[in-house]
Amino acid sequence: MPLVMIVYYVICLFIAGMLVWNFAREKDDRQMMLLYLVVLVPLVLRLLRIN
Amino acid sequence: MSRSGPVKGLLVAVVASVAAVAGAQFHQHRHQRLPIVAGPAVARVASLSEYGEGLARTMADTKVFFLQGAEPGGSALIMAGTHANEIDALLSALIFVENAVVEKGTLIVIPQLNHSASVYTRPGDGCPLFYGIETPWGTKVFRFGDRGASPLDQWPDPDVYVHYPDAQLLSFLDARNTNRSWPGRPDGLLTERVTAAVMRLLAEERVDIALDLHGAETMFPVTNCIVAPERSMRIATMASMTVTAMEGFENHVEPSPKGFRGLSHREIGDHSDTAPFLLEAPFPFLDQPTGPKTRDLLMTGRDPFLLSLAGQQKLFVPYDESGWPIEKRVGQHCSVALEIINQFSRKRADRAIRISEVPRYADLVRNGVGFYFHDPSKADPARVHLD
């Protein structure tokens, strides 16, 4: 795997981590909770090398 | 537990379920292999990585079928799956692999040239993941692929794709397109490694003619045609005139532009001794102004919006209520490919290639495509290859 691809996976992991962190911190706004999770889906599928 | 805990748990469960269902489908699509029954002429099945070490153990490695004749002669290559969403090409190539009897010379077939593209989907376009071809023994299931290699295998895309070796600036999308990466380089992008491996195969196997099978939009002028550079023009013209006169479907020749780099019909001719031909059959599924991208549209090519456009003279092919069924599209590819090989053999008797038992246009229209596929469960397991 080329270095640039590894860097992109690291960025992907970082963004996914931020989304999880923000989801965990969100206490009231259900729409924002759902939004964090929906945005997380393609990142998880990419990190698991599914799509 | 915090007040929002149950809500969060419910949301996680719902989204995780949706992701799991989608993920399972994507995973199946990426890992399901296509069984190909080697026909009577198949003497050897190789991997493309034998001609390009950089492809070994990657999703871009793909099967290469060598169909050997009893008599020595010339050599022809048929490539399909350059664009894995143009399914007529793959189906035509498999008809050659499973049925052809080669009497003289060698026929080499690569059914899924851009293998990585065949295990990728068209995100956002609502395309089916799989499609089936009815056969006398049941439904043969195929993956529906994409135009470009999967980003799981070649990523990220550059802002601008700089073609090697001409340094022409092309769309970033074309970095994953194996019909913009010719002649390639062994240490380049994955798509460049694929085409570099084929260039090496052309040289080592002394291939005389290379046929690259495609499908094109009915609203695109380069359809129903053979695209040929200068050195292939005479054979392409003779083949086109012959099928038009003898087989009852329209076909014409388009000259390969010199200034548009990376395409098989240009670079193979410029960088090897092989004469290239690119075959385009009309493929309504690719047209933008259609209804939903369903399996029915894929098979029949019938669409009310295209029919309306045909009435306004906006299409470059004849189009009526019958659409453009798969039997006609695959039949055109088989007939044109056979006729190019025939015309080459007439011109170069010392390098002739003689092939029989491959159906032509009328046979496919009469019998259907599935009639020519063999049941892998009844075939000798040693003759079944998973690609």
- Residue-level pLDDT at A41: 95
Amino acid at B276: P
CB contact under 8 A, A41 and B156: no
Distance CA B381, CA B285 (A): 35
Closest-CA distance, A17 to chain B, in angstroms, reads 15
Closest-CA distance, B252 to chain A, in angstroms, reads 39
Q: Is the pLDDT of residue B357 over 60?
A: yes
Q: Which has the closest alpha carbon to B115: B154, B73, B60? A: B60
Chain B residues in contact with A30 by the CB 8 A cut-off are: 7, 11
Chain A residues in contact with B12 by the CB 8 A cut-off are: 37
What is residue B52's DSSP assignment?
Answer: -
Helix/strand/coil for B77: strand
Distance CA B289, CA B291 (A): 7
Give the nearest chain A residue to B58 (CA atoms).
Answer: A1
- What mean pLDDT is predicted for residues A18-32? 94
> Can you read off the two tokens belonging to residue B213?
């099978």
Residue B213 is inside which H or E element, if any? Answer: strand B209-216
Q: Which burial class, exposed, middle or buried, applies to B344 when counting CB atoms under 10 A from its CB (0-12, 13-18, 19+)? A: buried
Question: What separation in angstroms does the CA of B154 have from each of B4, B70, B103, B110, B314?
Answer: 41, 41, 40, 21, 37
- Residue-level pLDDT at A30: 93
Q: Is the pLDDT of residue B269 over 60?
A: yes
Q: Which has the closest alpha carbon to B336: B258, B255, B235? A: B235
| Residue of A8, A27, A30 with shortest CB distance to B156 | A8
Helix/strand/coil for B297: helix
Min mean pLDDT across B149-158, B309-318, B358-367 is at B149-158
Decide if B10 touches A, using CB distance below 8 A: no
| Residue of B4, B7, B15 with shortest CB distance to A41 | B15
Decide if B18 touches A, using CB distance below 8 A: yes
Question: How many of the other CB atoms lie within 10 Å of CB of B221?
Answer: 12
| Residue of B11, B19, B23 with shortest CB distance to A33 | B11
- Residue-level pLDDT at A13: 96
Distance CA B10, CA A50 (A): 24
Helices B5-31 and A30-47, axial angle in degrees (round to 10):
30
Confidence of residue A3 (pLDDT cuts 50, 70, 90): confident
Select from 3.30.70, 3.40.50, 3.40.630, 3.10.620 the CATH code of B32-386: 3.40.630
Q: Is the pLDDT of residue B313 over 90?
A: yes
- Could you tell me if the ipTM is greater than 0.90? no
Q: Is the pLDDT of residue B312 over 90?
A: yes
CB contact under 8 A, B156 and A4: yes
- Residue-level pLDDT at B2: 66
Q: What's the CA angle centered on B63, arms B58 and B65, to 5 degrees?
A: 160
Chain B residues in contact with A19 by the CB 8 A cut-off are: none
CB contact under 8 A, B22 and A41: yes
* Bigger pLDDT: B2 vs B277: B277
- Extract long-range pairs of B201-205: CB within 8 Å, 24+ residues apart: B201/B48, B201/B51, B201/B64, B201/B77, B201/B108, B202/B77, B202/B268, B202/B272, B202/B273, B202/B274, B203/B272, B203/B273, B204/B51, B205/B75, B205/B77, B205/B106, B205/B108
The contact set of A with B (CB < 8 A) is: 4-5, 8, 23, 26-28, 30, 33-34, 37-38, 40-41, 44-46, 48-51
Q: Is the pLDDT of residue B50 over 90?
A: yes
Domain boundaries, chain B: 32-386
- What mean pLDDT is predicted for residues B160-175? 96
> Can you read off the two tokens belonging to residue B321?
């209520």
Helix/strand/coil for B207: coil
CB contact under 8 A, A45 and B22: yes
> Can you read off the two tokens belonging to residue B93?
């190539």
Is the peptide bond preceding residue B156 cis, with omega within 30 degrees of 0?
A: yes
Cβ partners under 8 Å of residue B92, min gap 6: B78, B80, B213, B330, B333, B334, B337
CB contact under 8 A, A34 and B11: yes
Decide if B218 touches A, using CB distance below 8 A: no
Q: Is the pLDDT of residue B14 over 70?
A: yes
B117-155 pLDDT, tens digit per residue, is 999 987 678 899 999 999 999 999 999 999 999 999 998
> Can you read off the two tokens belonging to residue B273?
């001794």
- What mean pLDDT is predicted for residues B209-229? 97
Q: Is the pLDDT of residue B156 over 90?
A: no
Decide if B70 touches A, using CB distance below 8 A: no
Distance CA B353, CA B177 (A): 30
